């Protein structure tokens, strides 16, 4: 949309988009934060959105319903202050994001713990007005300080900071290069970090959390002795964000992991906080809902009866979409963890306006915490989170969905999708959607579990699986010249518990023989994933019972019936079904094997491709003569073999769009005795932490990603955690869903394809917590510390390049080096200091341009003096961080090839 004129945007917001958006670059990304203080309401907007123009169109009469709201007005919050919230205020945040279905819009109002009822009411009022102006397209959220939704927290990757006071009390938002600061931040969270300003006292500390003593030019991170590596890493990321965003890169960071090893930093802390007396408090446990609580969903019908509001429970788990009627409003209670209000298209306008009020009243009536999160959604604009609480969610006439879209018939026929396997490596997202690791051309080895040991299966019978057995299937394929492995554990429906256990134990041993690099996939009989079908080239046959062992205890049945589904070698499977007429289905081909003949019964709805695949399977199932018969032309012998005629599924197929799951990523833990999962919204590869076990849910499959540094307990319990997740899912999930165990560094394409811009080299050059800490310099070597309680700083002699306790000096950009070499001088370091591809200096330090001036511009279009090979260096720190997701310092520490790739993606190459 580069060069697009105002008014060209359309999507979820319809015509209102004309007044809402201005000229912008590719991809609509808006985050606007608004603050409601005493007598005023402030809203911030990105440079690419004319939000004030929209707000000015709202008639002031609409706000005259209460005196408290009359004098409120919207005033911008600085962009650099995004993520910083005053506890005495309320905020309005607008976020829109382009998706495959158009534009997803979220409206949040955030309630500070010390805000007044008037402010809260004003914030809710503005959200209602914005929702009306945007034609009901946004999903509305009520957020309470300290209990924000995962969606809200995902906007602030570096964490949320709570500040005492409010605008009316004279406090100001973030101002760059302000050093007259003295505060203590209590940092909590592993995935979503929040930092609350607490009293400057040792009494505020505890053994389990991270605390950040912010003294302007010095930031001291104190890590509790019981902190995890993840918590320390998130705390350090927040400290660096404060240094780079608020202090222009000029603050120094010191880390205290062990007080005995950091006497100089402890000395500073004692000068500020005084001597510590007594023992530190124990860690404060995080209060998180477990999966059983989240699974307790109840749906309530909300309606007026004789001028009274009635809230009536109508259903519980699992919920179905047809319960929601367009004429009414409903409340969905997710175990007190979250409250959803659904507003039907044809419901009363007064009911729609009172959505938040009714939700809060419901919370009070139920005795839930006032901090309970509320989400208000409109009929037709439901959030992914809401849809995923239902067993199945259909979108009328939808051609693109949140996940894969299927065409389904009344008789449960799924049309197979053909795709070009050559595209898999070029398009990982296709591999993910099609559930394909590769083109299925690799090598196969199959073992049967016999007497609890692995016994090789005759290659002539590969693809034939019996319900009384368990099998191990090792698939080996080459990628980038080296072997990769997928280890399938196929569990028969009638196999013994001992055999299933032995199958898992033998899989571990087989994995070890291949360097612990195999992707392990648990396959339950009848739930074989797509790639499993493909590797057997259309010859996959599932027998209901029995065994493939040489010593069979029971003879095979004289008559067997198989249902064949598939159109080619990549997607065909034959499954044994009860040999009776009621098993037939007009949409498929069936094989009826008897002692005299093998019938190919072709239903009226089957295709020519399906018939051809059935013929190939028939040669494996039976050596008898093959007779093809069409539905309605069956001989009497056919019905006799099935025990006589009987009704079967024969309705005509119809077209219906089923929107499947939007992939969800979770950090999972059950160390506390409760199964706790923390969702990562809008996830990317960076969210896969080496010390975690992560669960990726794509609906048809569950992936368990195991980080190299994850603890033994969680690794051992990973599969059990995945089963527990399926068991407790609000939508009543199928417990036989395949579970896939993936190891860090050995991720297959059908996993990486769910992540945008997967970097296969990340694990080799990504920094661990210790490496990031070492980049800060050797703070333990500081010998001279001078402290001025009004402006604490380390002495000039400590600013040497070898002992710097601030930005990394070995790999830092020249801008940051110059800050430390020349303090507040505007001159920059000499070009001889540059390394790792960092750019030359900007003359006099004044060459900062807006992104519009630099992005997607030719050499002739650039301002005079701008080096076309280093365009990104002329961005402001804020623009740079927003575009690249990192500071300039972090960017220039990356390998040159990675810098070039990111610049290409952002139009700055």
Say which CATH number the domain at 895 has.
1.10.950.10
| Closest among 248, 153, 166 to 193, alpha carbons compared | 153
Q: What are phi and psi of 237, to 5 degrees?
A: -60, -40
- Greater confidence (470 vs 259) lies with 470
Residue 203 belongs to some domain of the structure: yes
Residue 869 belongs to some domain of the structure: yes
515 and 439 share a domain? yes
539 and 559 share a domain? no
Domain of residue 886: give its range. 851-906
Residue 549 belongs to some domain of the structure: no
Q: In whole angstroms, what is the distance from residue 609 CA to residue 567 CA?
A: 5
| Closest among 642, 592, 641 to 618, alpha carbons compared | 592
131 and 222 share a domain? no
pLDDT at 796: 36
| Residue that terminates a domain, selected from 217, 239, 273 | 273
725 and 690 share a domain? yes
pLDDT at 490: 96
529 and 561 share a domain? no
Sheet order of strands, 210-214 included: 84-86, 160-163, 194-198, 183-188, 210-214, 218-223, 252-256
| Residue that terminates a domain, selected from 742, 757, 772 | 757
Which position has the token pair 């109002």?
109
* Radius of gyration of the chain, Cα coordinates, nearest whole angstrom: 31
Does the pLDDT at position 589 exceed 90? Answer: yes
266 and 302 share a domain? no
Residue 815 belongs to some domain of the structure: no
Does the pLDDT at position 816 exceed 90? Answer: no
439 and 539 share a domain? yes
**Per residue in 772-811, pLDDT tens?**
777 665 443 333 334 444 444 444 333 322 233 333 333 3
The per-residue pLDDT of the chain, averaged, comes to 76
Name the 3-class secondary structure at 545: coil
Does the pLDDT at position 506 exceed 90? Answer: yes
Q: In whole angstroms, what is the distance from residue 348 CA to residue 908 CA?
A: 51
Q: Tell me, what CATH number does 150's domain have? A: 3.40.20.10
Q: Does the pTM of the predicted model rise above 0.75?
A: no
621 and 694 share a domain? no
Q: Which of 35-39, 202-206, 861-865 has the highest mean pLDDT?
A: 202-206
- Alpha helices by DSSP H, listed for 428-586, are 428-433, 497-513, 530-534
pLDDT at 632: 93
538 and 560 share a domain? no
pLDDT at 150: 85
Residue 404 belongs to some domain of the structure: no
Give mean pLDDT, residues 519-540. Answer: 92
69 and 140 share a domain? yes
Residue 243 belongs to some domain of the structure: yes
Which position has the token pair 């124990």?
282
162 and 200 share a domain? no
- Greater confidence (57 vs 282) lies with 282
Residue 818 belongs to some domain of the structure: no
434 and 515 share a domain? yes
pLDDT at 250: 78
Residue 263 belongs to some domain of the structure: yes
Q: In whole angstroms, what is the distance from residue 857 CA to residue 871 CA?
A: 9
Question: At how many degrees (to 10) do helices 355-366 and 117-133 cross?
Answer: 130
| Residue that terminates a domain, selected from 696, 725, 757 | 757
Does the pLDDT at position 892 exceed 60? Answer: yes
Is residue 507 within 8 Å of residue 501, measured between CB atoms?
no
> Number of structural domains, the chain?
6
**Per residue in 338-354, pLDDT tens?**
899 999 888 877 777 77
What is the rounded end-to-end Cα distance, in angstroms, of the chain? 18
Name the 3-class secondary structure at 772: helix
**Per residue in 232-284, pLDDT tens?**
888 898 898 888 877 877 788 999 998 888 888 999 999 899 998 888 888 77
Q: Angle CA(452)–CA(458)–CA(464) in degrees, nearest 5?
A: 80
Give Dmax over CA atoms of the chain in angstroms: 102
Q: In whole angstroms, what is the distance from residue 746 CA to residue 767 CA?
A: 18
pLDDT at 101: 65
């Amino acid at each position: 949309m580069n060069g697009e004129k105002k008014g060209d945007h359309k999507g979820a917001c319809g015509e209102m988009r004309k007044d809402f958006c201005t000229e912008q670059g590719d991809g609509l990304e808006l985050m606007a934060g608004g603050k409601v203080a005493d007598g005023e309401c402030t809203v911030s907007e990105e440079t690419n959105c004319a939000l004030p123009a929209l707000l000015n169109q709202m008639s002031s009469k609409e706000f005259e319903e209460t005196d408290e709201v009359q004098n409120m007005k919207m005033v911008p919050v600085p962009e650099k202050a995004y993520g910083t919230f005053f506890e005495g205020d309320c905020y309005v945040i607008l976020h829109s994001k382009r998706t495959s279905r158009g534009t997803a819009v979220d409206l949040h109002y955030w309630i500070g713990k010390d805000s007044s009822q008037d402010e809260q009411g004003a914030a809710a009022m503005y959200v209602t007005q914005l929702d009306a102006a945007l034609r009901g397209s946004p999903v509305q959220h009520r957020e309470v300080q300290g209990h924000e939704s995962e969606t809200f927290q995902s906007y602030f990757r570096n964490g949320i900071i709570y500040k005492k006071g409010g605008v009316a009390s004279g406090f100001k938002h973030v101002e760059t290069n302000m050093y007259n600061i003295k505060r203590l931040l209590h940092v909590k969270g592993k995935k979503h970090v929040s930092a609350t300003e607490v009293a400057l006292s040792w009494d505020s500390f505890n053994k389990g959390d991270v605390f950040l003593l912010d003294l302007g030019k010095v930031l001291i991170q104190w890590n509790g002795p019981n902190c995890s590596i993840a918590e320390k890493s998130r705390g350090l990321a927040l400290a660096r964000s404060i240094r780079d965003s608020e202090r222009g890169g000029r603050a120094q960071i010191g880390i205290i992991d062990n007080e005995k090893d950091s006497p100089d930093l402890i000395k500073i802390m004692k000068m500020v906080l005084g001597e510590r007396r007594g023992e530190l408090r124990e860690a404060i446990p995080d209060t998180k809902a477990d999966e059983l609580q989240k699974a307790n969903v109840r749906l309530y019908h909300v309606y007026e009866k004789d001028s009274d509001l009635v809230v009536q429970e109508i259903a519980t788990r699992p919920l179905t979409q047809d319960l929601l009627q367009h004429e009414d409003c409903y409340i969905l209670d997710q175990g007190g963890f979250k409250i959803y209000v659904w507003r039907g298209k044809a419901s009363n306008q007064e009911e729609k306006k009172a959505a938040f009020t009714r939700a809060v009243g419901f919370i009070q009536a139920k005795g839930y915490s006032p901090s309970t999160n509320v989400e208000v959604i409109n009929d037709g604009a439901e959030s992914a989170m809401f849809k995923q609480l239902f067993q199945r969610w259909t979108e009328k006439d939808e051609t693109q969905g949140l996940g894969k879209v299927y065409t389904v018939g009344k008789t449960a026929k799924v049309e197979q999708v053909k795709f070009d396997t050559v595209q898999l490596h070029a398009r990982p997202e296709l591999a993910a959607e099609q559930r394909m690791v590769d083109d299925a051309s690799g090598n196969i080895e199959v073992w049967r579990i016999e007497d609890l040991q692995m016994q090789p299966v005759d290659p002539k019978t590969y693809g034939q699986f019996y319900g009384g057995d368990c099998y191990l299937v090792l698939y080996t394929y080459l990628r980038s010249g080296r072997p990769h492995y997928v280890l399938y554990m196929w569990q028969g429906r009638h196999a013994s518990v001992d055999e299933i256990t032995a199958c898992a134990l033998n899989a571990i041993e087989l994995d070890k023989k291949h360097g612990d690099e195999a992707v392990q996939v648990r396959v339950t009989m009848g739930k074989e994933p797509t790639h499993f079908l493909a590797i057997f080239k259309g010859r996959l046959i599932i027998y209901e019972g029995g065994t493939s062992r040489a010593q069979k205890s029971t003879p095979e049945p004289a008559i067997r019936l198989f249902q064949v589904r598939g159109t080619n070698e990549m997607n065909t499977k034959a499954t044994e079904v009860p040999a009776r007429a009621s098993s037939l289905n007009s949409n498929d081909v069936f094989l009826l094997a008897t002692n005299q003949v093998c019938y190919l019964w072709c239903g009226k709805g089957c295709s020519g491709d399906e018939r051809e695949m059935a013929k190939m399977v028939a040669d494996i199932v039976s050596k008898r003569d093959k007779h093809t018969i069409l539905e309605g032309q069956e001989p009497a012998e056919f019905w006799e073999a099935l025990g006589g005629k009987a009704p079967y599924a024969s309705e005509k197929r119809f077209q219906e769009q089923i929107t499947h799951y939007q992939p969800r990523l979770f950090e999972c833990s059950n160390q506390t005795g409760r199964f706790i999962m923390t969702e990562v919204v809008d996830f990317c590869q960076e969210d896969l932490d080496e010390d975690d076990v992560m669960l990726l849910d794509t609906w048809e499959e569950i992936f368990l990603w195991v980080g190299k540094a994850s603890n033994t307990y969680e690794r051992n319990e990973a599969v059990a955690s995945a089963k527990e997740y399926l068991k407790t899912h609000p939508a009543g999930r199928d417990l036989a869903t395949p579970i896939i165990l993936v190891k860090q560094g050995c991720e297959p394409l059908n996993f990486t394809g769910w992540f945008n811009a997967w970097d296969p080299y990340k694990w080799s050059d990504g920094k661990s917590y210790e490496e990031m800490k070492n980049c800060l310099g050797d703070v333990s070597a500081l010998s001279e510390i001078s402290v001025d309680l009004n402006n604490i700083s380390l002495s000039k002699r400590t600013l040497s390049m070898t002992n710097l306790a601030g930005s990394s000096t070995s790999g830092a950009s020249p801008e940051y080096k110059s800050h430390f070499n020349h303090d507040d001088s505007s001159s920059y370091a000499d070009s001889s200091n540059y390394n790792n591809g960092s750019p030359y200096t900007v003359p006099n330090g004044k060459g900062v341009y807006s992104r519009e001036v630099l992005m997607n511009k030719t050499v002739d279009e650039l301002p005079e003096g701008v080096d076309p090979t280093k365009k990104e260096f002329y961005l402001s720190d804020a623009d740079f961080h927003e575009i690249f997701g990192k500071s300039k310092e972090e960017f220039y520490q990356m390998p040159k090839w990675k810098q070039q790739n990111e610049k290409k993606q952002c139009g700055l190459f």
